[in-house]
Amino acid sequence: MLKAEDLKIHYGHVEAVKGISFEVEAGEIVTIIGSNGAGKSSTLRGISNIEDKAGGKVIFQGEDITSLPAHEIVDKGICHVPEGRHIFSQLTVEENLYMGSYSKTDQTKAEYQDKLARMYDIFPRLKERRNQDGGNLSGGEQQMLAIARGLMMDPVIMMLDEPSLGLAPLLVEQIIKLIKEINEDLGTTILLVEQNARKALSIAHRGYVMETGNIIMSDRREKLINDPKLAEAYLGVG
Amino acid sequence: MFGFYLSQLFNGITQGSIYALMAIGYSLIFGTLGLVTFAYGDIVIFGVFVGYYFYAVLGLNLILAMLLALPITFLFGVLVEKICYEKFRKEARMLMLITTVGFGIFLRSASQIIFGTGNKSIPTLIEGKIEIGNLNILYIQLGIIIFTLIFIYALRYFLNNTRTGIGIRALSMDQDAAKLVGVNVDKSIKFGHSLGVVLGVFGGIMLGSFYNAISPMMGPNLGLKAFTAVVLGGITSIPGAVIGGYILGIMENLAVAVFSSGYRDVVAFIILIIVLVVKPSGLFGKEVKF
């Protein structure tokens, strides 16, 4: 469904992503794990075209979307929940959710209200805080809001960048469970970028391991979990 | 004596309305581009001259000529955005800043060549006055105040209740996030910038109509007034810009009443310096971090 071929991203002379290729099939949860600075976030930013690519191709549902502007990539059904959540801090929670449906120009008011109600069902905390500014929410609530805002787009694929970053263990647990539910209940394909390899692999079907701009390993989840080298480097065992 | 101060106060409110209009335009531009502009006053005056050209040279009806100037300056705003900002989005911010300084000088000089260097007189858009005791209120003053309020509420409605408006607010807070929810950031920036220009030009037309004179040299001074009003109000706050505009207008006219008309422009500088020293975030702004 989503395919990156020889993707390269450079910041000046720094090669953050050095020509990687990977693929996500419909219905999968695929994770890209790796330590800080491995080029995971840059990869996602390259796909959604908020970062210029130095080379390579991105194919989505058979269509070359390599050089589409960011807002048209959203129209295709690719949702990117960025690292650090990027909530609109001075918009209310509800306005943030409204912004999630920004690209849905053909949606009726009733459909919008319906979707909003569904989000409030899934995230009761957001309903309680619907009229507060997004910036006043706690980290966990902001992450929920970022995901809910993404779901308002009815995405075909959701790319989540470090959704567990900076959250308390209990919240991490909740977010990971939520991602699995989005995949299973809504049928949304997931590309999950995480430093928390153990958590990511607990729900993923397949995984890629990135190190200094390259993919150094890719396999099914069971294989990755049991790989001794990986366990030592990323899973904190051994 | 009391009547004199009262009429100066009323003049101040009128003048404040004009500043408020220019200030919300400026604030909108600052919000969408995230940067101050030094070409604003010159762009505004250029816009008023476009209206003047339709009226004085092409012989159109005055009100029609001024109304025509608004959509034209909207398009002109798009052009300005292309020249001053679009190419430099990914470069150092300082580049855009310098470009606006240069563009302001260019536009002022071009206006002088096209329209002449001297003052041009514009008749009042609405003639007549009402007298209450010894207070004279011109219809144009009432018109300015009412139009300003209409524009403020229209802008507020636009920014809070329309898709494009909420999108502009969103992109002013976080451009990447705005892109990721599908905002065409380039288009929205152009729209916000042009809307700001049109608000300023409308303010300029009101000013020209109130004082019956315009000149290409008024640009930098007007730009400074708008800048002072938004800094006073807290630069990204639209209500702040309105209040800043009114305070500036009233203070100026009271200074004229107490001292002499030569002190009018000093007031803006004094306010600007005091605000920057005492409370750089302005009355309603978020705390500024450097």
Contact at CB, B185 and A75, closer than 8 angstroms:
no
Average pLDDT of every residue of chain B: 91
pLDDT digit string, tens, across residues A121-174 = 999 999 999 999 999 999 999 999 999 999 999 999 999 999 999 899 999 999
Residue B288 has pLDDT above 60, yes or no: no
Which of B163, B180, B289 to substitute to test the interface with A, most A CBs within 10 Å? B180
- One DSSP character per residue, A158-192 reads EEEE-TTTT--HHHHHHHHHHHHHHHHHS--EEEE
pLDDT tens by residue, A94-120: 999 999 999 999 999 999 999 999 999
Question: Distance (Å) from the C-alpha of residue B162 to the closest C-alpha of chain A?
Answer: 11
Q: Inform me whether the pLDDT recorded for B14 exceeds 80.
A: yes
Spatial CB neighbours of B214, under 8 Å, sequence gap ≥ 6: B45, B48, B49, B52, B119, B120, B122, B204, B207, B208
Name the residue in chain A with its Cα closest to that of B163.
Answer: A102
**Is A100 in Cβ contact with B174 (below 8 Å)?**
no
User: Residue B40 and residue B245: Cα distance in Å, rounded?
Assistant: 15
Q: In this complex, is the C-beta atom of A98 within 8 Å of any C-beta atom belonging to chain B?
A: yes
A160-218 pLDDT, tens per residue?
A: 999 999 899 999 999 999 999 999 999 999 999 999 999 999 999 999 999 999 999 99
Task: State whether B163 and A102 contact (CB < 8 Å).
Answer: yes
* Any B CB within 8 A of A112 CB: no
Which residues in A lie closer than 8 A to residue B237 (C-beta atoms)? none
Q: 3.40.50.300, 3.40.630.10, 3.40.50.150, 2.40.10.10: which CATH number matches A2-234?
A: 3.40.50.300
Does the distance separating the beta carbons of B181 and A91 come in below 8 Å?
Answer: no
pLDDT at position B88 over 60: yes
Whether B48 has a pLDDT exceeding 90, the answer reads: yes
Structure confidence by residue, pLDDT tens digits, B21-32: 999 999 999 999
Using the beta-carbon criterion (under 8 Å), do B183 and A86 form an inter-chain contact?
no
**How far does the CA of residue B230 sit from the closest CA of chain A (Å)?**
19
Q: Give me the pLDDT at residue B287, please.
A: 54
Chain B interface residues facing chain A, Cβ-Cβ under 8 Å?
163, 166-167, 169-170, 173-174, 176-186
Place of tokens 């397949």: A206
Distance from CA of B179 to the nearest CA of A (A): 6
For B127, other C-beta atoms within 10 Å of its C-beta total 9
Beta-bridge mates of residue A209: A33, A217
Q: Mean of the pLDDT values across residues B68-97?
A: 92
Residue B170's contacts (CB-CB under 8 Å, 6 or more residues apart) are A88, A91, A95, A99, A102, B177, B178, B181, B183
pLDDT in tens, B93-112: 889 999 999 999 999 999 99
Give residue A238's pLDDT: 41
Please enumerate in sequence order all residues whose Cβ is within 8 A of that of A89, keeping only pairs 6 or more positions apart, or say none. Answer: A133, A134, A135, B173, B174
Kindly report, residue by residue over B114-164, the tens digit of the pLDDT: 998 889 998 888 888 888 877 888 999 999 999 999 999 999 999 999 999
DSSP letters spanning A184-207: HHS--EEEEEES-HHHHHHH-SEE
A153 → chain B, closest CA residue: B181
Mind telling me how many Å the CA of A6 is from chain B's nearest CA?
Answer: 23
| Residue ranges covered by each domain of chain B | 2-126+179-278
Q: Provide the residue ranges of all domains of chain A, joining segments of one domain with +.
A: 2-234
Cβ–Cβ below 8 Å for B167 and A99 = yes
User: Identity (one letter) of the amino acid at A170?
Assistant: L
Q: Which band of pLDDT confidence, cut at 50, 70 and 90, is reported for residue B289?
A: very low
ipTM: 0.93
Question: If you count residue pairs, one on A and one on B, with CB atoms under 8 Å apart, how many are there?
Answer: 67
Q: Which residue has the tokens 């191709």?
A: A57
Residue of A10, A44, A88 best to disrupt the B interface, most CBs of B under 10 A: A88
What integer pLDDT is reported at residue B290 of this predicted model?
Answer: 43
- Residue among B166, B174, B179 minimizing CB distance to A98: B166
What's the confidence (pLDDT) of residue A228? 83
In this complex, do A86 and B174 lie within 8 Å of one another by their Cβ atoms? yes
- Mean pLDDT value across residues A43-52: 95
Residues of A in contact with B182 (CB under 8 A): 71, 74-75, 102-103, 153
pLDDT band at A236 (very low <50, low <70, confident <90, very high): low
How far away is chain A from the Cα of B142, in angstroms, using its nearest Cα? 35
A60: which strand partners? A2, A63
Which among B180, B184, B186 has CB closest to A80? B180
Taking the CB of residue A32, how many other CB atoms lie within 10 A of it? 27
H-state helical runs in A48-138: 70-75, 93-100, 109-122, 124-128
Chain B neighbors of A79, CB-CB under 8 A? 180
The SS3 of residue A18 is strand
What DSSP element (H or E) covers B170? helix B163-173
Q: How far is B180 from chain A (nearest CA, A)?
A: 6
Tell me the one-letter amino acid at B136.
Answer: N
What are the pLDDT digits (tens) for B152-190? 999 999 999 999 999 999 999 999 999 999 999 999 999
Q: Does A84 touch chain B (CB under 8 A)?
A: no
Q: Under an 8 A CB cutoff, do B181 and A100 touch? A: yes
| Percent residues over pLDDT 90 in chain B | 70
Q: Chain A: residue nearest B174 by CA? A: A88
